[in-house]
Structure 1
């Protein structure tokens, strides 16, 4: 089967409106890879004044029915790039397809974002210490195209090998995930010796309190730690601008926010300042990226003026929701981790466990005598964290007062690197018993 390339609309993510003509071009191009999409549109496909908000939402149930199929027709096409999701939310790894045009657009957008992040600092070396998926596969190539000497290390290796590689290579730029950086900093005797000047993050939430602790450990300014936001379904989506104190969307992305009442699943309502992020890509074609529901909840989604141009932005990603998350849809990992790091005042890693109506926050912080001791002072610090979590996160406090949750437990956990590297993402809610 040969698919001819349709004209790609030159739509910039900073524009908040996609014209009817551009929408029809996107639908036509995507329809060659996802012909089933026409059945969702029905008579809308003939509407010459089509608007984005008229299109159906591409929810998890739609993708399960049409895209995540064992006999997906795209699997028979040649020339497509294939990537698996991490499976951290659903427990199942799913296959995502990229055409060569998708791949080229992904690389170009990522190059532009990384160029903006690194500016004119003149970095010469970069190391990618990543998990799996699209970001890991393309990381070294992106840095090399930007003129840096680059290398990578698999996240599954024992932490000792990560530390040895950092010590010998001394990368000026480290591209990694928060959970992996936790492993590095919690096990390193002298992180400043690696010579890291800039950290680029991807894959998980990076609260302000955590970033502050990381910057202190590495001996760099907080502005030298830049979080990026992406998804394997669409690609690189946004990056945190220290200048504006917000995440700015990449070119080629149109962002909307919807309430949970707009989704098929029975989900709890969100606070007024939070919305479920819905994205449209004007360059993607081998995935139905027209009003794709990410299930990520963002805070304060709104346009701002950047260099005289209106661009969509948001303050932070606070959690992921979904039909299987139970009470977790009310709980923000971002806020929990931010509170812990602000109160603890030193580098640590956390796990959040939900077992029935019990919420436990396990704090991992190895080789810190003052922390590991069971002195009254150490116990008091954990109690302060518990109180702060109940007081400063209204959703948790409300669930406790209403009896939905029992009192929060904040406990120590023993750091086991073998367990840490068994999965790439840790910043999520665990259900059932988690040993602390």
Structure 2
């Protein structure tokens, strides 16, 4: 179905009251955010451009590892990657949980409308908020819901899936790749597949669809994060990723982001490519206002589709900062620290080539160096270590490249995702 790109301002004045209420609510829940707005002279602002960017530095100092005794009803979820030796903790209120489940339920309900209720739905997602919530989403949709403990070996995952024979399967691209390589083999015929957590470009989705005898549109790529929750999803009709209605997206040119701080004035953007900022109108226990996701996207725009106006973008280009995915998260901070210890002074990049591959400018990578890198990743990211031990993702690989051989062309590391 065709769509029309809208060129009017990205964030209509009608949402000014919502933004003002959102900012005010966060100042009441998070005193440090109130102080930040007071310092800028923009308390309770209804204009996105008046509000500061919230990046890793601010959140690490005031949120991720801080105590929040005034939020006693919060559910806490932890990332597997760390910065400074402590795992990030992200809080959800009961209302946050309900909003997330409602957003996923609406999307998955529409996507699986051809599958009869009472059919089997299975989630195999590793750890984190999406994994913890999937069974509730499927149950509320009327499916016979199951999930699989990510700590179990990959052959047990295959055995459970072969026994349950799901009609609906929700997993991660990296996990699905491992399941398809396992022996004895995976013998299921799902009618709908949803994936989240890693990039799933069109070529990958087409391959998965062919493997299971499905149409490419029967494989749904979902974009989310533990901080925000449900963010966006691929739309087969437009060929774009559509943001959920609670999201106000922006982009900032990636080259400028490194120079920006919370005290800089940053205008809101309607369309283009660059570093993605997100504001959520439904998140209460995470200050999701101009949150710097660390993702780079192409083609952010506002479109009219199926009688509605929605924000959309073309593709996720990669990670700019924050953390990398190898089944679960590995902090960029930790990757830099590990490589500085094992390969001091050597430029490197981390790429997603069917799993994490670290490409370092050196003559050779010795077995002892590879062992030290893998041991350090295991220590810093225990959930990743468990997924490797279970066989759900492969071991971290480290390869030598000649000078000038880095794909990014930069002297320093860069995190790239698979090309479509």
Match for residue 113 of structure 2 among 113, 119, 122:
119
Tell me the distance in 2 between the aligned counterparts of 1:138 and 1:88: 23
1:329-355 deviation per Cα after TM superposition (whole angstroms, max 9, x unaligned): 8x874xxx5xxxxxxxxxxx3543221
Provide the C-alpha distance between the structure 2 equivalents of 1:159 and 1:127, rounded to a whole number of angstroms.
15
CA-CA distance at 1:44 after TM superposition: 5.5
- Which ranges of structure 1 fall in alignment gaps of 5 or more residues? 1-14, 267-271, 338-348, 361-416
- Write the distance in 1 (CA, Å) between the matches of 2:190 and 2:364: 36
Task: For 1:318 and 1:306, locate their aligned partners in 2 and report how far apart those are by CA, in whole Å.
Answer: 24
| 2:49 equivalent to 1:64 | no
Q: Within 1, Cα distance between the matches of 2:45 and 2:153? A: 57
C-alpha offsets along residues 241-265 of structure 1, whole Å, 9 cap, x if unaligned?
Answer: 1111111001211111111244246
The answer to whether structure 1 residue 136 and structure 2 residue 114 are counterparts is: no
- 1:289 corresponds to: 288
The answer to whether residue 49 in structure 2 is matched with residue 53 in structure 1 is yes
Match of 1:381 in 2: none
In the TM superposition, 1:332-343 aligns within 5 A as: 333=352
CA distance in 2, matches of 1:313, 1:92: 34
Where do residues 29-428 of structure 1 align in structure 2 (5 Å cutoff)? 29-42=25-38, 50-69=46-65, 72-75=66-69, 77-87=71-81, 93-122=87-116, 124-188=119-183, 191=186, 193-264=187-258, 274-322=273-321, 324=332, 333=352, 349-356=354-361, 420-421=388-389
Which residue is equivalent to 2:372?
none
Deviation at 1:150, TM superposition (A): 0.5
CA distance in 2, matches of 1:32, 1:92: 26
Partners in 1 of 2:149 and 2:243 — Cα distance?
A: 29
**1:258–1:276 Cα contact (<8 Å) kept:** yes
Describe the SS at the equivalent of 1:93: strand
Whether the 8 Å contact between 1:279 and 1:289 is mirrored in structure 2 is: yes
Distance between the aligned counterparts of 1:61 and 1:240, measured in 2? 31
The 8 Å contact of residues 257 and 275 in structure 2, kept in 1 or not, is answered as no
Q: How many residues align?
A: 340
User: Per the alignment, in what secondary structure is the counterpart of residue 214 of structure 1?
Assistant: helix
Higher relative contact order (CA 8 A, sep 6+): 2
Deviation at 1:159, TM superposition (A): 1.4
- Structure 2 unmatched runs, 5+: 1-9, 261-270, 323-331, 337-346, 366-384, 402-420
Identify, as 1 or 2, the structure richer in strand: 2
Native 8 Å contact 1:185 1:217 kept in 2 = no
CA 90–241 in structure 1, closer or farther in 2 if over 3 Å, else same? farther
- Find 1:21's aligned residue among 13, 17, 24: 17
Alpha-carbon shift at residue 39 of structure 1 (Å): 1.6
User: Take 1:44 and 1:351, find their aligned partners in 2: how far apart are those partners?
Assistant: 40
Relative distance call for 1:328 and 1:117 in structure 2 (3 A) is farther
Q: CA deviation at 1:309?
A: 2.2
Relative to structure 1, the CA distance from residue 198 to residue 229 in structure 2 (aligned partners, 3 Å threshold; closer, same or farther) is: same
Please list the CA deviations of residues 161-196 of structure 1 after superposition, one character each: whole Å capped at 9, or x if unmatched. Answer: 1111111111101111111111110115554x3121
The answer to whether the Cα contact below 8 Å between 2:178 and 2:392 also exists between their aligned partners in 1 is no
For the 8 Å contact 1:16–1:312, the answer to whether it is kept is no
Deviation at 1:97, TM superposition (A): 0.8
Measure how far apart 1:29 and its partner are. Answer: 1.6
* 2-structure distance, mates of 1:24, 1:423: 48
Contact 2:359 2:399 in 1 (8 A): yes
